[in-house]
Structure 1
Amino acid sequence: MVHELEVWLFADHVGTLSLQEGRLSFHYRENWLNRPGAVALSCSLPLQSDAFDDIHTRPFFAGLLPEGHLRRLIAQQFQVSGQNDFALLDHIGGECAGAITFLPPGASPSPSGDDHVQWLNDDELIAILDELPRRPMMAGKDGLRLSLAGVQDKLPVVFDGQRIGLPQGGQPSTHILKPLIHGVEDSVTNEGFCLALACAMKLQAAQAQIRTIVDRRFLLVARYDRQTGTQGRVARLHQEDFCQALGVVPEMKYQNEGGPDLAACFSLLRHVTRPSAPQVLHLLDYVVFNALIGNHDAHAKNFSLLYTAKFPVLAPLYDTLSTAVYQTLTPKMAMKIGSKYKFSEVQAHHWDQFAESAGLGRAQTRKRILELAQSLPKTARQLQSQKELEFAGNPLVEQIITLIEQRAALTIRRLTEPQGDA
């Protein structure tokens, strides 16, 4: 028996996702292929009339789903197999990353509007925060069909500047609500500070704010794949992460598991963006910034392409926090710099190896690394001192800045002293 879901991009039915004998396939509709200006869902799913088999289909579609224990809990909620991507997309694939929506055959997306938002009072929001660890994405509650990739508890919400609500029907979310990560001390402040620091460094980064309801702290991150237009209407922008674009399944996102390395990420940008030089330089900044703040979890699913015009651009920096300040988390970076996974072992010639593999000039790369290493500690201290942001006096922020100062000093020393190449 063949099971089918219709795949919609914005308000267009572009293709069909099928499941037969446990294997996925996807094919574009002829009407879509023949339409002037038709676009592909993914770099890994180019426009063609032939169907894509399971090997080519799964990386993009599985990449829309939560991972790890979140995926298992959602599967239990709906009494389906945790390995069944199709069933999970059927249950929660109404509001996904980018502009993708999954609907049963014959159904059409609902129009968006304020009446499709369930606005929450403080008590209701607290109840959701408490329930989220047991019911990821609030799966199955009140007909919600929400999905985001990753292993961290999070929830797509609508935020109008004052109220927070749950998107229903065809309503796009505007923000991602991220509560504290269990077992990771004050992750909300950590990520909030690191994203604010990226913005202070003039890097393109997701806008985030730390909020508190009674004693519950959470991060509210503005979605870069959503745009508010006239009359407050929220529109989806399409996007895909680098694993999806490269045809890599989510469970292989780490380089040491066979996932993409930095060379593959830079190569992807060069192949799909026009002009590519500015995008490549933005990615270089992201790599150096993540290394200096100690974000060891910067794997290929934490970089994305954003489709805003004829050619995609590198999406703003997101999911960035200093994991290196936690002794219980791995000291290994998700992707090597040169031949090294550990930042403490990265010498000047490893940065040169990285530059060469990424197609960058050594001298230009060293210059940019030094610029960031020299300015980052000062900018971090300035950000810490802004009283309205409540970072001053926070012990975790102090630890992050101390780590940044140490890493920046080490990097400057290794890139400027002759013995740094030894």
Structure 2
Amino acid sequence: MMRGERLHVWTDGDHVGEFMRTSGGHVSFHYDSKEGAPISLSLPRTGKSSGKAASAFLENLLPDDENARRRMASRLHLDSTDTFKLLADADTVGGLVFSDKPELPHHPIEAKPLDEEEIGNQIGYVRANGYNWFARDDEDEFYERDTPKCRFSIAGGQPKFTLARRAGVWLWPNASIPSTHIIKPEMRDCPGSHRVEDAALTLGTLCGLPVSEHGILTANGAEAFITRRFDRIVDGNNVRRIHCEDLAQAMGMDPESKYEIGAASCVRFLHHFDPSDETGYEWVRRLAFNVSSGDSDSHGKNYSIVLAENGFRFAPMYDMTVTRIWPHVDQEMAMPINGVEFAELLTPFDWEAFAEEAGLDGERVAHIARTMAGAVLDHLDEASAGLPDSLRESMRKAVSKANENIQPLHRRMSKPKANTASFSGGGVWVSPHIRSGYEVSGYWRSR
């Protein structure tokens, strides 16, 4: 490798700094100025960051699966899965654009629209070839050898792809064409996963949590879960990237460590930025929902924050499902509570003990967990009403089991409107407020 390799970083068209990699492989980030919002809480504009924070931040923007990275490199005509090369000119999570040159990447906007058949074929292909998140080999018109038109990167292990919605048509994204939607086909080993995720997000909305617009996309007979990106603002034909990061990035942890991030450590991390701990209590509400809804795979990368110069706020919830529907999926929670690994064994005492370990008020945290459990159970039937009978019954059993010992508190609550999507553009931020006795977090709402 050449000494002092650089990856330039842009936000809203402004150059904010560059990642530098030495010949020994050490990665660091250098800001152009001490003013403005950081690109990550783990990379402050002033002060020091951990030695691995810069490289961890970048790695968290790429797929977990090395096979997916190799396929990505192949479709982009790259000679390796080098992180700098994969991210250069790509449409990524958050508000940053990366370039291996000191100029802002520019790609022609006159991209060929995708028709329903092409999208349906892509859904089917990703479902059948999980590690391949790109188009098929015979669709080279979207990947011209000199200027690949589809250039996106999205983190995680579940097969998915992104699309951009402009002027009523779908396009492949790149650095110049921000994606607006994420599409997740059904996972072959988890039948109905796309519909369960849709139902889980509906359940979150009914429980008063902020959730991105979502729904089921049908294209040429193929179905997939679809969600509007919360890190994009659509204004007519213009799309603005909004900068965010997940907790793994914020804490300077690489993606391989996402299951090592404990619940108490998340609260203590948030306390550093908000000593009042109200941010910590808000995060506990989200954690309690994931526990009560039977999502055992809720780890550090499933929670994100939106960054601003004066601080941060939580992003809407995403990647929510009921993993306990499928027996072959790990039933142990990714974030044990007070050492308890199975949701059905959790009691209010465990939540109190966890709170004390994390530096929060035990009674308040236990009340949050019990109240959220009650809301989950109260709205379960409505959220799952659109599922096939067998899948709806599996969801009911899984969620009921997850709440066996929590002693749910049931409260009357007005019926929030589920944030299902027509995906026609635009959005405004609704500030946190009280709704029928429940604290409702801020969320994106269509214009």
Query: Is the pair's TM-score, using the shorter chain for normalization, greater than 0.5?
Result: yes
Counterpart pick for 1:240 among 245, 260, 270:
245
User: 1: distance between equivalents of 2:189 and 2:177?
Assistant: 33
Call closer, same or farther: CA 1:342–1:161 in 2, change over 3 Å: farther
**Equivalences, count:** 394
User: 2: distance between equivalents of 1:62 and 1:249?
Assistant: 7
1:107 and 2:107 aligned: no
1:97 and 2:124 aligned: no
Query: What secondary structure is seen at the aligned counterpart in 2 of 1:219?
Result: strand
What is residue 440 of structure 2 aligned with on the other side? none
Call closer, same or farther: CA 1:195–1:309 in 2, change over 3 Å: farther
What is residue 265 of structure 1 aligned with on the other side? 266
Counterpart pick for 2:39 among 22, 38, 41:
41
Counterpart pick for 2:217 among 211, 216, 231:
211
Call closer, same or farther: CA 1:404–1:49 in 2, change over 3 Å: closer
Counterpart pick for 1:228 among 234, 251, 260:
234
- State whether residues 15 and 26 of structure 1, in contact with CA within 8 Å, keep that contact through their aligned partners in structure 2: no
Root-mean-square deviation (CA, aligned residues, Å) is 2.8
User: 1: distance between equivalents of 2:38 and 2:356?
Assistant: 31
What is residue 377 of structure 1 aligned with on the other side? 377
Call closer, same or farther: CA 1:81–1:171 in 2, change over 3 Å: closer
User: 1: distance between equivalents of 2:42 and 2:135?
Assistant: 30
What is residue 321 of structure 1 aligned with on the other side? 321
User: 2: distance between equivalents of 1:358 and 1:9?
Assistant: 35
User: 2: distance between equivalents of 1:318 and 1:266?
Assistant: 19
Deviations 1:80-115 (A, max 9, x none): 444x3223223xx52111111111223224389xx4
User: 2: distance between equivalents of 1:337 and 1:49?
Assistant: 33
1:9 shift after superposition: 2.2
- The structure whose RCO (Cα within 8 Å, separation 6+) is larger is 2
User: 2: distance between equivalents of 1:350 and 1:322?
Assistant: 22
User: 2: distance between equivalents of 1:156 and 1:276?
Assistant: 35
What is residue 343 of structure 2 aligned with on the other side? 343
Structure 1, unmatched stretches of 5+, are 415-422
Call closer, same or farther: CA 1:160–1:270 in 2, change over 3 Å: farther
Call closer, same or farther: CA 1:227–1:406 in 2, change over 3 Å: same
Call closer, same or farther: CA 1:248–1:188 in 2, change over 3 Å: same
Counterpart pick for 1:126 among 98, 115, 120:
120
Deviations 1:129-155 (A, max 9, x none): 244336324598351221111011111
What is residue 312 of structure 1 aligned with on the other side? 312
Query: What secondary structure is seen at the aligned counterpart in 1 of 2:336?
Result: strand
- State whether residues 237 and 308 of structure 1, in contact with CA within 8 Å, keep that contact through their aligned partners in structure 2: no
Counterpart pick for 2:185 among 161, 170, 179:
179
1:316 shift after superposition: 1.2
Output aligned runs, 1:40-59, within 5 Å: 40-48=38-46, 55-59=52-56
Q: Which moved more, 1:124-133 or 1:179-188?
A: 124-133
Output aligned runs, 1:350-365, within 5 Å: 350-365=350-365
- State whether residues 189 and 397 of structure 1, in contact with CA within 8 Å, keep that contact through their aligned partners in structure 2: no
What is residue 403 of structure 1 aligned with on the other side? 398
User: 2: distance between equivalents of 1:254 and 1:171?
Assistant: 33
Deviations 1:230-275 (A, max 9, x none): x4421111001111111111111112xxxx2111211222323597
Q: Which moved more, 1:303-312 or 1:16-25?
A: 16-25
What is residue 70 of structure 1 aligned with on the other side? 68
1:27 shift after superposition: 3.4
Deviations 1:321-344 (A, max 9, x none): 111111111111111111122223
- State whether residues 24 and 53 of structure 1, in contact with CA within 8 Å, keep that contact through their aligned partners in structure 2: no
- State whether residues 384 and 395 of structure 2, in contact with CA within 8 Å, keep that contact through their aligned partners in structure 1: no
Letter paired with 1:101: V
User: 2: distance between equivalents of 1:319 and 1:117?
Assistant: 29
What is residue 420 of structure 1 aligned with on the other side? none
Call closer, same or farther: CA 1:53–1:354 in 2, change over 3 Å: closer
Output aligned runs, 1:152-171, within 5 Å: 152-159=158-165, 163-171=169-177
User: 2: distance between equivalents of 1:291 and 1:370?
Assistant: 11
Report the TM-score when normalising by structure 2. Answer: 0.80
- State whether residues 343 and 403 of structure 2, in contact with CA within 8 Å, keep that contact through their aligned partners in structure 1: no
What is residue 154 of structure 2 aligned with on the other side? 148
Q: Could you say which structure has the higher helix fraction?
A: 1
User: 1: distance between equivalents of 2:23 and 2:175?
Assistant: 31
Deviations 1:373-414 (A, max 9, x none): 2222221112334xxxx33x4421221122222333432179
User: 2: distance between equivalents of 1:394 and 1:22?
Assistant: 57
Query: What secondary structure is seen at the aligned counterpart in 2 of 1:146?
Result: coil
- State whether residues 37 and 307 of structure 2, in contact with CA within 8 Å, keep that contact through their aligned partners in structure 1: no
1:195 and 2:201 aligned: yes
